Structure 1
Amino acid sequence: MKLLYLIADGMGGWPLKELGGKTTMEAADTPNMDELARTGIVGRAQTVPEGMLPGSDVANMALLGFNPTTYHTGRGPIEAAAQGLELAPDDLVWRLNLVTVSKLTIDGYMRDYSSGHISSDVSRPVIEKLQDKLGNDTYQFIPGIQYRHLLVQKGGANTDDANIAINPPHDITDKPIKLDLRKYSKSPLLWDLLFEAKELLDDRDINMSMANSIWPWGQGRPLSLPNFKETFGMNGAVISAVDLIKGLGYASGMSVIDVEGATGLLDTNYEGKVDAALEFLKDNDFVFVHLEGPDECGHGGDTKDKVEAISRFDANVVAPLREALKNEEVAWIITCDHYTPIVERTHTTDPVPFIINGPGCKASGVKTFSESTAKSTGLKLDKGYELLSYAIEKIGLK
């Protein structure tokens, strides 16, 4: 039997007046997910443990079956795993966004956490120039994808910098940055780096993008996860545009499949992801397919595009996979990692709706798949990291 685990990042949300009281999930056209919900188990899972921030790092680690309270060290270390960086145990790895602020002062605001969704071919030379000018025995700038990069602080895990709690920039869009600047100021070296980078980014000969500041956050020691196959007994792969998911895959010994044209946005290469999943499943058991689009639209506060992103997930991922595997013995898990409500423009800790569909699954009795129908079944897994094991048991893979 093949198990497909399909994730629409940030798909969940709250009712909106502009949608007549519907959520974006309820407003989207999702006939395939609705049909799988009608014939499968539907419920909710608490992917973000109490006391942890509702990030994709925490939530996707839980979806893959690993307890974040045990294994999570920070967002930066997960993305470092995706790049195969050789790190010392006491290195501190920061996620580094290229951002747009109104001004880098205590009366400044976070204008754009992604610098206008800067492209990788524009951002990479900028990060390389920052490394050339500011990299030293303490700090190393590592290029990533689009606005998502890394800053390695050698030996930093043994310093007070490891405890600085900077807000993720997508959490403070159009909000003041003064509280974070005060936290940065607790580290003289990091404070100097922030303003030296600002000076370089202001140089139009070096940087022609919207990025006018770096934003280090999500720091932690290098990541270590149990081996996925040894834990769950399946040969698995992850397919995603973002380093976060790839890092979880690499750290747990899974195959990591790159898809050309996968952007993490609404225009991603859906067909390429589907083809890659089908090719892997010819000789293997499990694939985790992750779509970032709904989350990005939620952060942007764009209701129309988020509805469209969810509809495309159903039409361009769920539908073709169902059609290609209609004569195969397969099982499905479909969910999101967290909510990204339009009104909040960031993640929340709401339990996420899920579908489990496969042999041995008794239908929950819902007609559609949404936040409200998942709640109506009364099924809730308080430990979200148990969702995968729960599904494996229900579909008879154990």
Structure 2
Amino acid sequence: MKYVIILVDGMADYKVESLGMKTPLEIANIPTITLLAQKGEIGMVQTIPEGMSPGSDIANLSVMGFDPNIYHKGRSPLEAASMGVDLSETDVTFRCNLVTLKGDGPYASKTIIDHSAGDITTEEAKTLIEYLGKSFETKDIKYYPGVSYRHLILWKNGPFDYDLTPPHDVLGQKIEPYLPKGPYRDVILDMMEKSYELLKDHPVNLERINRGLNPANSTWIWGEGKKPSLASFKDKYGVDGSVISAVDLIQGIGILAGLTPIKVEGATGTIHTNFDGKAQAAIDALKAGDDFIYIHLEAPDECGHQGDLEGKIKSIELIDEKVVSPVYESLKSLGEPFKILILPDHRTPVSLRTHTSDPVPYVLFDSQKIISNKNQKFTEDSGTESGNFFESGVSLADYFFKK
């Protein structure tokens, strides 16, 4: 049996007035996903446990079968695992976004307008993070460049008592109420404030401004955490496999769970990512003997954060055409039973530009249990109307991998 989970980040949404009170998922032309829904099972799943924030870290842990109430120790240490950063039990890590702030006056009075600094390139970002490292690094504090706007700070034997806010939760707002809080806030806030002075006139940003792009004129530090410990997929579900994602967070979860990370050239985590390359990497791994592939696609989430309705619909359609369809056709050609599970980790409504904790739809296709329902679709409403509901991502994962 082959198992494939296709995680379409932030795909689910709310009804949009300009779409005739439909969601992007209802509008998108997704023939292959629709076919799988007509031949498989649809339903809803509560990926975010009650009382926990609707982050991709918590949601993807849940979908992979790890109860976040037990295994979640923070977002950034999961990213550190992907970046090859070794952590001790007393180290503290932070996610360090490159963001765009706007406004005159003191730092606290500025408004955050872009959590991704215009989807800054990895090359540009590396230059800026290394530049900041020269100013802020000590024997205990280190900066590690990541992918695009997503980076890491390690504080060896650091304190662990903060109240830090994800930047994508406060887009379009003045930052003062959302700046770091807690007894050890001063070091974090000082690095953020000084980063603005160092970055606002940096040549990389002046060039971006000349090209009409958002500058990466500040860091935003959040997502603190400590080293986690996960069981392997082999021990948990009896499968070996790989994880494919442009995002360090997802690769890190996979690595900690014993999956092999597959790097795909041109994988950016945006609508301009190498969808074809991701699909081919999955197909190659399945043909080479992998039992399980976890394919993570970030584009709809990024479009949701940007409030880009057209882009969100287009990204869902591209994923159906360039990822779901070829992977499905390849699985059929292998000549052995297979299951495909397609779902978002959370909703990222374009109207809110941030994540929500609502249940999300799933479709599960089992080549050994083909159903025929020509009227069935993969939408938020259809999932709800099906009557199928999983109270957690963990229970859905257990069901999916059940022999």
Q: TM-score range by the shorter chain?
A: over 0.9
Contact 1:185/1:191, CA 8 A, preserved across alignment? no
Quote the residue 2:303 is aligned against: 297
TM norm structure 2: 0.93
Quote the residue 2:358 is aligned against: 350
Contact 2:161/2:183, CA 8 A, preserved across alignment? no
1:178-213 Cα deviation digits (max 9, x unpaired): 112262785222232222222211343575450111
Contact 2:196/2:219, CA 8 A, preserved across alignment? yes
Q: Which moved more, 1:270-279 or 1:360-369?
A: 360-369
Distance 1:72 1:213, change over 3 A: same
Contact 2:304/2:354, CA 8 A, preserved across alignment? yes
Query: Are positions 1:218 and 2:223 aligned together?
Result: yes
C-alpha displacement of 1:364: 8.6
1:100-128 Cα deviation digits (max 9, x unpaired): 11255332211111111110110101111
Secondary structure of 2:401's match? helix
Match of 2:263 among 243, 258, 261: 258
Distance 1:73 1:177 in 2: 26
State the percentage of identical aligned residues: 40
Q: Which moved more, 1:313-322 or 1:200-209?
A: 200-209
The residue identity in structure 1 corresponding to 2:350 is: I
Distance 1:250 1:184 in 2: 32
Distance 1:163 1:292 in 2: 30
C-alpha displacement of 1:232: 0.7
Contact 1:41/1:364, CA 8 A, preserved across alignment? no
Q: Which moved more, 1:360-369 or 1:13-22?
A: 360-369
Query: Are positions 1:201 and 2:203 aligned together?
Result: no
Distance 1:338 1:122 in 2: 30
Distance 1:102 1:347 in 2: 23
Distance 1:317 1:206, change over 3 A: closer
Distance 1:289 1:53, change over 3 A: same
Secondary structure of 2:312's match? helix
Query: Are positions 1:318 and 2:324 aligned together?
Result: yes
Match of 1:142 among 141, 144, 152: 144
1:293-340 Cα deviation digits (max 9, x unpaired): 110111111111101011111111111112223233321111111101
Structure 2: 5+ residue stretches without partners: 209-214
C-alpha displacement of 1:139: 1.6
Match of 2:170 among 162, 169, 172: 172
C-alpha displacement of 1:153: 1.3
Alignment of 1:1-398 (within 5 A): 1-103=1-103, 105-156=107-158, 159=159, 162-181=160-179, 183=181, 187-205=185-203, 207-208=205-206, 209=208, 210-282=215-287, 283-327=289-333, 328=335, 329-361=337-369, 363=371, 365=373, 367-393=376-402, 398=403
The residue identity in structure 1 corresponding to 2:381 is: S
Distance 1:5 1:261, change over 3 A: same
Distance 1:336 1:182, change over 3 A: closer
Structure 1: 5+ residue stretches without partners: none
Contact 2:26/2:379, CA 8 A, preserved across alignment? yes
Distance 1:11 1:249 in 2: 21
Quote the residue 2:212 is aligned against: none
The residue identity in structure 2 corresponding to 1:265 is: T
Distance 1:217 1:372 in 2: 34
1:11-33 Cα deviation digits (max 9, x unpaired): 00000011001100000001111
The residue identity in structure 2 corresponding to 1:381 is: F
Q: Which moved more, 1:330-339 or 1:365-374?
A: 365-374
Contact 2:64/2:393, CA 8 A, preserved across alignment? no
1:332-376 Cα deviation digits (max 9, x unpaired): 111111101111111100111111111454649552111110000
Distance 2:112 2:303 in 1: 17
Distance 1:120 1:246 in 2: 17
